[in-house]
Structure 1
Amino acid sequence: MTLQDQRVVLLGGTSGIGLATARLAADHGATVIVASSNPSSVKRALAELPATASGTAVDLTDPAAVTDFFAGLDPFDHLVYTAGEALSLLEVRSLDLARARQAFELRYFGALQAVHASVSKIRPGGSIVLTSGTAADRPAAGWSVAASICGAADSLVRSLAVELAPLRVNAVKPGIVRTPLWPDGFDYDAAAESVPVGRIGEPEDIAEAYVFLMNQHYATGSIVTVGGGNVLV
């Protein structure tokens, strides 16, 4: 399968999983458009991507800015949403509700607004691929907010797949992945010992799932888990 001559818009596509997905999509022949809130991150990403790529700094928590971004784009084939802030655990006993709401703003409502603003620009045969996380299936202490966001993303994907049919809507559900989103000092070695595959995921591992879903024309409402088996143990 190939993305040759297709256009892929990646929100959060300037670092980590998003950038790895942009690189892989470009390797498959796509023209990629990346966006994130950090102008310097956009600049760094474009230095790594082919000359055909383009990028823009957009505040993905600002509905008007997201609407304007898509209004300025020509029709495209696939929307990928991987945007997220650095993970921070929020225990219920010391919960900061404002921080909890802020996490939902980018990861959930940002994705919902992106779909709303872009759906009329996605060409027939195209798709939307959102991002969930294995915390929805195997949360730990302090993960109530993060797990709730992932669970909401799962439900959103299934609902949108029905509402927007025949447009395909799917999601990737990563486990622990070596990206800047994880807290400083996180013990990747210890985490690797706890998963069946014996190692931590790399952004390139997860990127393959996004490209698969863009290319898989019979999948919709699907949530592909790529976590090294971490939900099994």
Structure 2
Amino acid sequence: MHSASWHLTGQSDCQLCPMRQLSIFAGLTVQELDNLGMTVQDIHLPAGEVLYHQGESARHAFTLRSGVIKLSLESPLHGVEKIVRLLRHGDLLGFEGLNHSHPRYPHTATTLDAADLCLLDISELNRLSEDLPHVRRALLERWQRALEESEFHIVEVGAGKADACLAAFLYHWCGVFPDGAWVPFPMARKEIAGYLGLSSAHVSRVMADFKRHGYLRESGQRIMVQRASLRKIASGMH
């Protein structure tokens, strides 16, 4: 059953999709795509909408085509939201439903800006992953990438002083774009703080300091950084 907040905008054409090479169907031939026997729907959500809630039955998985989504969970001990991942174009989410032993979403997924996604049925994905080695291999590769992101969060971002943590985060976030480019950055200070385990005031002070030194520029929901300078700060060399 679809959430009332989802705006279904039509059926996806996986052959013509510009995100095809980043999707789980990247390794399939045109004939294999034609024979999938699976309908992929397009979804649009405005900023601030919940795609799914922690603990809900995981009936669908998603590919994020544009926008930024935060995955958060509520601490059972303190009732405080903790942001565990920040996702952007090409990332997958909701695939926990492929785990037959615990088919529930472990996080709440919320859009930080307007987002476009592909909607995939979990039961159909299970069938495809069993029948098509390319799909199964793509899913395993994406799980590995998610694990690497989590390890980065723990090792690089979750350790050291606040300025080093924030520098590591910004360096990593902007790393998929050409150096000196304006990078989409729809996160408020509170989201950055929630992700890094800092206070919003501390994040604001460090960001302001980076701006004063010329390491960072902001314009609307975009940033431009000096990656070499941030790398030095992240490594404790400044």
Establish whether TM, by shorter chain, passes 0.5: no
TM range (shorter): under 0.3
Q: Which of the two has greater helix per residue?
A: 1
Q: Quick one: higher RCO (CA 8 Å, sep 6+), 1 or 2?
A: 1
Q: Which has the higher strand share?
A: 2
